[in-house]
Structure 1
Amino acid sequence: MGLKLLHLNLHGLIRSHDLELGRDSDTGGQTLYVLELVKGLAARPEVEKVELITRLIVDRKVSSDYSNPVEKISSCAEIIRLPFGPKRYIRKELLWPYLDDLADQIVQRLQKENNLPDWIHAHYADAGYVGALVSRRLGLPLVFTGHSLGREKLRRLLAAGIDHDQIEQTYSISKRIDAEELALSHANLLITSTKQESNEQYARYGRFSLENIEVIPPGVDLNRFYSIDPSNLNEEENELNKVFKPFLRDLNRPPLLAISRAVRRKNIPALIETYGRSSILQQRHNLILILGCREDSRQLDKQQREVFQQVFELVDKYNLYGKVAYPKQHRRDQIPSIYRWAANKKGLFVNPALTEPFGLTLLEAAACGLPMVTTDDGGPRDIISRCENGLLVDVTDLEAFRDGLETAGSNSSLWKTWSNNGVEAVSRHFSWDAHVCNYIALMQKRLQFLAPRHWTFGKIRQSSPIGQKLIFIDLDNYLEQKNCLSILRNKFKDHSFNHDIKLGVLTGRSIKAARYRYAEIKLPKPAVWICQAGTEIYYADENKSDIFWQDSITVDWNRKGVEKVLFDLKDYLELQSTENQGLYKVSYLLKEPSDAILPLVRKRLSHSGLAASPHLKCHWYLDIVPLRASRAEAIRFLTLRWGLSLENVLVVASQQGDAELIRGLTTSIIPFDHDSTLDGLRSQQRVFFSDDQDGVLAGLKHFRFFKSH
């Protein structure tokens, strides 16, 4: 049997043909890289099947291709589109509330097929988050490629003078960084394109391990990107002359060519500013800007509109009409021709990005014989060191940027050397064949000894102790309300004949304390207890916790490390008494409720590299538990271990801190007197917000949970 591989790339605008590169900030080089990697892997004899999971989109504003649930790429590769979040297309920063739904769907899909992939490869932070959840639940190896990183983006945006609150509002940067930390803590292997990424960018993350990283530069499709003799360019040149002629007075000037998305990070306005300030550059060169396709700039997203507005204003400010081209439309198949057209005119490729994780366009340009002047940040350093086909410049220093461009365009002999160097080096170092061969060899070397957990899919087949339907109630909060107890007592009394429906208890207490408190309530005995804030699972009257759950959550747990790193927060936190502590739980009491404490503690833990996560309950109670443990994860462990569908799990949630129980495919009831922090979850699909005193009863009726099979 060959390798079975699963890739995650979530934003949705990806298909097997005619990629809409540059459509918006989510359709850049990552999209092309992922598709080419999947195609390259599918062509290898070692590979039996490759699946690429992305989001299913039903939206008249985008192609109907993105609403096709399954799309064949080749005989053994396909795109699988799963619905999560709104049906319409939305930018990736708005997808965070819906990622738990996708993780649940992927786990259920793999569980039903009972045909696990050899590894999961997650691309970008959102897929890293989903991949981490799927990996921990099924015990599958996880490979992570960030493509670009939140900490680096935050650093660059702050340096550019953008307000932190604005960055948070636009990019959900804290969620992204937390997701990257989670992905790094679960990843068995991290793939980067350059050493700079690992040494300077990933190294800023507390859960980054240098032992888990491999550098594999991406490849270039040399069937599309190649250099040809200028005499064979006539047809391509004539077509492109028609595209650029409306903008340019003199088509024969060597062009400065930039190809990128119209986003702030790509720093295109700085290139125009530099060109506008230099009479030498204006006399010597045209400026060609390929910034994606647009019908009407007013219909672009806010960031793109702002970038184009800057472009228009700078062209006007420096009176660059006749010298700058920024066509509204181009075809993807024209991109190689544009590089060759620029090379034929002895031009230069320019990448002015503030940060460039790799720079696939640099390789494409080099393969077509076009030398470059590029940002000295990130991947271009590695490319220039191997290709020796241009200059690195500090694009944040406009004088240095200008000097680099003027120098690079002043020596025809050096231009020819650079052109030849680029063509030869890309063929030798950066072909797709080399990339895919390195990729598979590394995967097999690093991941071959990893296997799914042996409890997965209920393979230990005693009769299930948790029934076919399960209702979870919170012993610490919800069951304190007396009117709710009578409703539940009566409901279970009426349905005592139905042994398929069981009760589960959620609590932060020990099993001993939980049973003592529960005995006062006079409800049916629970089938399962999730105790100590999700770190222990007990069945019925058993006194020993589930050893498989313990084994799966205790990876790298360091209780003393947690207490040490939070010790100097004693002005805000105090340790709870010994009886409220657990073997895998450190419990604190806040001295004053504060929204700032959770992100502060999370930051402390991640910066210290501790595999632990904080959970704040009822605004006062802070529990630190192993990274892989939580009440929500314990529920998913139970469904996997005993073969129970998540849709048949109902959770009653009411307090601050219960959001984790509501996300995903479980069913939730939220009583009318719930904590206001849960109101933001009304967009979740399987949640019932009650408006009356009998909230639980109304919810049970709404979901027809007691309906006989």
Structure 2
Amino acid sequence: MGLRLLHLNLHGLIRSHDLELGRDSDTGGQTLYVLELVKGLAARPEVEKVELITRLINDRKVSSDYSNPVEKISSCAEIIRLPFGPKRYVRKELLWPYLDDLADRIVERLQKENKFPDWIHAHYADAGYVGALVSRRLGLPLVFTGHSLGREKLRRLLAAGIDHDHIEQTYSISKRIDAEELALAHSNLLITSTKQESDEQYARYGRFSSKNVEIIPPGVDLNRFHPVDINSKDEEKELNKLFKPFLRDLNLPPLLAISRAVRRKNIPALIETYGRSSILQQRHNLILILGCREDSRQLEKQQREVFQQVFELVDKYNLYGKIAFPKQHKREQIPSIYRWAANRGGLFVNPALTEPFGLTLLEAAACGLPMVTTDDGGPREIHSRCENGLLVDVTDLEAFRDGLETAGSNLSLWKTWSNNGVEGVSRHFSWDAHVCNYIAFMQKRLKFLAPRHWTLGNIKEITPIGQKILFFDLDNYLEQSKSLSILRNKLENNSLNQDIQLGILTGRSIKAARYRYAETQLPKPSVWVCQAGTEIYYSEENKSDIFWQDSITVDWNRKGVEKVLFDLKDYLELQPSDHQAPYKVSYLLKEPSHAILPLVRKRLRQSGLAASPHLKCHWYLDVVPLRASRAEAIRYLTLRWGLSLEKVFVVASQQGDAELVRGLTTALIPFDHDSSLDALRSQQRVFFSDAQDGVLDGIKHFRFFKSH
């Protein structure tokens, strides 16, 4: 049987035809690359099936195509759209609160299928986060491609003088970096486009390992992107109509830029450079293809700001008749635009502040159009192989101007660059070469990694838990609940129904937990999740679940954790030995602080430790294996024993309980909850109770004791 592959591309607008590239900052080169990769893989004889999972969108402002749950790409490739988050289309920074829902949905979907994918390939940080969770729970190999990285974006924005709080508010940059770290920690393979991307960008992440890297430059469809051919006259007429309303002299060699209208692409710097140079204005037209727009006032904020800068600079330097920035173009016109520019002896210009790769550079080169481009990662790699133009410092406007003036002054050199580009792309950057390298690296790296799938059928045991389970926190809710007697009666009345059982969450040892629990006089639990999610016990057994133990202890180094955090003794102190465990290091804060969690997380990452900190009730800090938590323990239980997550009811009340609420579990938050949980009100399956007895109120709200 052939390979079965699963790709995750969660944001932007993606469909099998007419990609709306440049519509916004989320629909750019990444969506094109992923779609072309899926198509290329589906055409290979080694591949049986390729699925691309993205978000289901119901929004009158976008095409109804994006509300289609399944879209065929080819006979063995399709787009699967799953609902998560708001129904409407939103930018990627607003999707973070809903990614756990998607991870649960993907696991649920894969469980129902007879065959698992051979590997998951996650694209960008949001998909990396989801892919890490799915990989962790099912034991599937994970491949990660970041496309652009949060740490690099943060560095560039800070260097540009933008306030850190503004960056956080606009880009959710800390969530993005956390997700990238998690994806790197779980990845079996990291695919980058360039060596510079690996050595200078990914290397700044604590959980990066150079051993996991393979460099595979993106490919170009040479059937679409090629030099001028016999159909060029028709292309010429069509594009003359497109640009004639803007330009006095259509025959001047154009400086062509094609990108999204976002700050990183640095288009205003190109206009500023052009405006300051009388030589460039006399010699060249400037053509900007910045996506499609109806009304710039209706664009998202960042795009509006970029276009406002464009309009102001055109006016400042009186560039009317010399610059074109058409409102509309068709995707199928892009190859023609490159050829149109090449036919006039033009140059392709990429002024981006940072460029992980730069697919447009390859497209232009394949069409015989030389480049003047930013001296950064991808362009350096392309230039080293193709020698088809100049690299310039786009942050130095004088150097940028000199580069453009030099590149446009020598016709003989232009012809050499043009020929080099066509030949270099054909040799090094075709889609056939990309897909062949991709499959070869995957098979070499991942062939020894078999999926782990927890099912009742595999374990051959009788399930110790029913079809529904109520999880209570012994350390908080059950210690504080004033209505235990009512709850006790409710549970006892359902004792004949063995489908509904009780689960206990605690940071204590199983011995201490049972001692404390006996005081509640509640029915005996069927499962205990102890030691902050690192141990699972069933009923009255005294031995923890060995399968869970094996799955969380990958690369765990308890002594390493203590050593790395030792010099934080002004903020933390180790709790007594009876609060410690083999897979849990417990600390007590000397005073509550919101800064302690990111500080500890940073220390652990920088030391390469596969560990994760969890702060509970503002005072108690537990460091556990990266793959362990109370929420992950619950998901392990549902996978191993065939229990639907929607049949799990969790009570969350304290700071640190947010992990229990995210995803598809049913959750109750009582009226006297910690204020940190208020941010979870947007979660669909969370009930905030105003009643004195919140649990019974929640059980009634969700009809949890009803058989359905």
Q: TM-score, normalised by structure 1?
A: 0.99
Contact 2:138–2:453 (Cα < 8 Å) also in 1:
no
Contact 1:138–1:456 (Cα < 8 Å) also in 2:
no
How far off is 1:454 after superposition?
Answer: 5.5
Unmatched 5+ stretches in structure 2:
none
Alpha-carbon spacing, 1:12–1:275, altered in 2? closer, same or farther (3 Å): closer
Task: Give per-residue Cα distances to partners, 1:228-277, cap 9 Å, x unaligned.
Answer: 25x75221111111111111111111000000000000000111111111
Length, aligned pairs only: 708
How far off is 1:600 after superposition?
Answer: 1.4
How far off is 1:487 after superposition?
Answer: 2.3
Instruction: Return the alpha-carbon distance in structure 2 between the equivalents of residues 41 and 675 of structure 1.
Output: 49
Contact 2:12–2:92 (Cα < 8 Å) also in 1:
no
Instruction: Return the alpha-carbon distance in structure 1 between the equivalents of residues 568 and 500 of structure 2.
Output: 44
How far off is 1:512 after superposition?
Answer: 0.9
Instruction: Return the alpha-carbon distance in structure 1 between the equivalents of residues 707 and 245 of structure 2.
Output: 72
2:283 counterpart residue number: 284
Secondary structure at the counterpart of residue 206 of structure 1: coil
Secondary structure at the counterpart of residue 374 of structure 1: strand
| Deviation larger for 70-79 or 567-576 | 567-576
Q: What pairs with 1:600-615 in structure 2 (closer than 5 Å)? A: 600-615=599-614
Secondary structure at the counterpart of residue 310 of structure 2: helix
Alpha-carbon spacing, 1:475–1:341, altered in 2? closer, same or farther (3 Å): same
Instruction: Return the alpha-carbon distance in structure 1 between the equivalents of residues 465 and 399 of structure 2.
Output: 68
2:47 counterpart residue number: 47
2:669 counterpart residue number: 670
2:697 counterpart residue number: 698
1:509 counterpart residue number: 508
Secondary structure at the counterpart of residue 308 of structure 1: helix
| Deviation larger for 138-147 or 494-503 | 494-503
Contact 1:669–1:696 (Cα < 8 Å) also in 2:
yes
Task: Give per-residue Cα distances to partners, 1:575-631, cap 9 Å, x unaligned.
Answer: 111111111111111111111111111111112211111111011111111000000
Contact 1:195–1:215 (Cα < 8 Å) also in 2:
yes
Unmatched 5+ stretches in structure 1:
none
Secondary structure at the counterpart of residue 303 of structure 1: helix
How far off is 1:461 after superposition?
Answer: 2.6
1:332 counterpart residue number: 331
1:97 counterpart residue number: 97
1:314 counterpart residue number: 313
How far off is 1:91 after superposition?
Answer: 0.3
Contact 1:111–1:457 (Cα < 8 Å) also in 2:
no
How far off is 1:459 after superposition?
Answer: 1.6
Alpha-carbon spacing, 1:454–1:290, altered in 2? closer, same or farther (3 Å): closer
| Deviation larger for 108-117 or 76-85 | 108-117
Residue type of the alignment partner of 2:190: L
Residue type of the alignment partner of 1:287: L
1:633 counterpart residue number: 632
| Deviation larger for 520-529 or 598-607 | 598-607
How far off is 1:458 after superposition?
Answer: 4.8
Instruction: Return the alpha-carbon distance in structure 1 between the equivalents of residues 415 and 484 of structure 2.
Output: 83
**1:189 corresponds to 2:176:** no
Residue type of the alignment partner of 1:228: V
How far off is 1:482 after superposition?
Answer: 4.0
**1:218 corresponds to 2:218:** yes
* Percent identity (aligned): 88
Instruction: Return the alpha-carbon distance in structure 2 between the equivalents of residues 66 and 12 of structure 1.
Output: 10
2:163 counterpart residue number: 163
1:151 counterpart residue number: 151
Secondary structure at the counterpart of residue 566 of structure 1: helix
1:208 counterpart residue number: 208
Alpha-carbon spacing, 1:530–1:2, altered in 2? closer, same or farther (3 Å): same
Instruction: Return the alpha-carbon distance in structure 2 between the equivalents of residues 685 and 594 of structure 1.
Output: 30
Residue type of the alignment partner of 1:264: R
1:569 counterpart residue number: 568
**1:560 corresponds to 2:555:** no
How far off is 1:387 after superposition?
Answer: 0.5
Instruction: Return the alpha-carbon distance in structure 1 between the equivalents of residues 142 and 444 of structure 2.
Output: 14
1:687 counterpart residue number: 686
Instruction: Return the alpha-carbon distance in structure 1 between the equivalents of residues 474 and 629 of structure 2.
Output: 16
Instruction: Return the alpha-carbon distance in structure 1 between the equivalents of residues 557 and 457 of structure 2.
Output: 30
RMSD: 0.9
Secondary structure at the counterpart of residue 514 of structure 1: helix
Residue type of the alignment partner of 2:164: H
How far off is 1:493 after superposition?
Answer: 1.4
Task: Give per-residue Cα distances to partners, 1:542-570, cap 9 Å, x unaligned.
Answer: 11110000100001111111112211211
Residue type of the alignment partner of 2:149: L
Contact 1:42–1:77 (Cα < 8 Å) also in 2:
yes
2:373 counterpart residue number: 374
Residue type of the alignment partner of 2:158: L
Q: What pairs with 1:651-666 in structure 2 (closer than 5 Å)? A: 651-666=650-665
Q: What pairs with 1:56-455 in structure 2 (closer than 5 Å)? A: 56-229=56-229, 232-453=231-452, 455=454
Residue type of the alignment partner of 2:598: P
Task: Give per-residue Cα distances to partners, 1:125-172, cap 9 Å, x unaligned.
Answer: 000000000000000000000000000000011111111001000100
Instruction: Return the alpha-carbon distance in structure 1 between the equivalents of residues 64 and 510 of structure 2.
Output: 53
Instruction: Return the alpha-carbon distance in structure 2 between the equivalents of residues 584 and 208 of structure 1.
Output: 23
Instruction: Return the alpha-carbon distance in structure 1 between the equivalents of residues 590 and 701 of structure 2.
Output: 40
Q: What pairs with 1:443-592 in structure 2 (closer than 5 Å)? A: 443-453=442-452, 455-456=454-455, 458-592=457-591
| Deviation larger for 566-575 or 207-216 | 566-575
Contact 1:6–1:120 (Cα < 8 Å) also in 2:
yes
Residue type of the alignment partner of 1:119: W
Task: Give per-residue Cα distances to partners, 1:417-452, cap 9 Å, x unaligned.
Answer: 000000011111111111111111111111001011
Residue type of the alignment partner of 1:204: R
Secondary structure at the counterpart of residue 48 of structure 1: strand
Residue type of the alignment partner of 2:582: L
Contact 2:12–2:91 (Cα < 8 Å) also in 1:
no
Point out 4+ residue stretches in structure 1 off by more than 4 angstroms. Answer: none
Contact 1:53–1:82 (Cα < 8 Å) also in 2:
yes
Residue type of the alignment partner of 1:38: V
Task: Give per-residue Cα distances to partners, 1:630-654, cap 9 Å, x unaligned.
Answer: 0000000000000100011000110
Task: Give per-residue Cα distances to partners, 1:488-526, cap 9 Å, x unaligned.
Answer: 201111111111111000000111111110111111111
Secondary structure at the counterpart of residue 708 of structure 1: coil
Contact 1:509–1:532 (Cα < 8 Å) also in 2:
yes
Secondary structure at the counterpart of residue 612 of structure 2: strand
Contact 1:458–1:642 (Cα < 8 Å) also in 2:
no
Contact 2:12–2:31 (Cα < 8 Å) also in 1:
no
Alpha-carbon spacing, 1:264–1:505, altered in 2? closer, same or farther (3 Å): same
Secondary structure at the counterpart of residue 459 of structure 1: helix
Contact 1:534–1:630 (Cα < 8 Å) also in 2:
yes
| Deviation larger for 569-578 or 406-415 | 569-578
How far off is 1:42 after superposition?
Answer: 0.4
Contact 1:376–1:394 (Cα < 8 Å) also in 2:
yes
Residue type of the alignment partner of 2:578: E
Instruction: Return the alpha-carbon distance in structure 1 between the equivalents of residues 502 and 330 of structure 2.
Output: 59
Contact 1:672–1:695 (Cα < 8 Å) also in 2:
yes
Task: Give per-residue Cα distances to partners, 1:321-367, cap 9 Å, x unaligned.
Answer: 11111110000000000000000000000000000010000000000
Instruction: Return the alpha-carbon distance in structure 2 between the equivalents of residues 277 and 267 of structure 1.
Output: 16
Contact 2:354–2:374 (Cα < 8 Å) also in 1:
yes
Secondary structure at the counterpart of residue 379 of structure 1: helix
